[in-house]
Amino acid sequence: MRLTVGMDQSDIRKIIDFANWLLDIGDGKLGDLNDGETIIDIPNDILINNSHDSIGSLIDFEINDRLLNKFPGDEVEYLSSDSICKYEFVHDQFDSDLYSPDVLNGLKVSGLPNHKLVLKIGVPVMLLRNIDQKNGLCNGTRL
């Protein structure tokens, strides 16, 4: 229901048609007589055409970047620390090339924040971790 708030009737109809199309696939109602294999025509607007960038062929923008561009004002860029503590490697050999700033800054791991955070005044930010529940800094808090 959230998808349809503020949309016109033609967009709502497209969403309903797509949902019904997915249900028909799951129920085996599309294609010829189905003996376990069938051919189903997939609409071109949801077809993945680029096998090297499958997500990019479906989504041609970053949602956060697009939202950020809609807000007026200057961007402020915040960077994480781009070095590690060499004292943690007392018993192991420390390889500075393995942990270069380029490598550390390029890491994109689920659960680990990106190296660069770009914000503007007025842009909504949502906290994704419980940091300080006593003071209200909980998962889902809008800041």
* Domains in the chain: boundaries: 1-60, 61-143
Pick the closest to residue 67 from 7, 141, 118, 128 (CA basis). 118
pLDDT in tens, the chain (143 residues): 455 667 788 888 888 888 888 888 888 787 777 666 778 888 777 777 766 766 666 665 567 777 788 889 999 998 887 666 666 555 566 666 666 777 777 777 776 777 888 889 888 888 878 888 888 888 888 88
Q: Which amino acid is at 108?
A: K
Cβ–Cβ < 8 Å for 61, 67: no
Exposed, middle or buried by CB within 10 Å (0-12, 13-18, 19+), for 55?
exposed
- How far apart, in Å, are the Cα atoms of 37 and each of 18, 32, 34, 72, 142? 22, 9, 6, 53, 47
Cβ–Cβ < 8 Å for 72, 121: no
Q: How many CB atoms lie within 10 A of CB 117?
A: 13
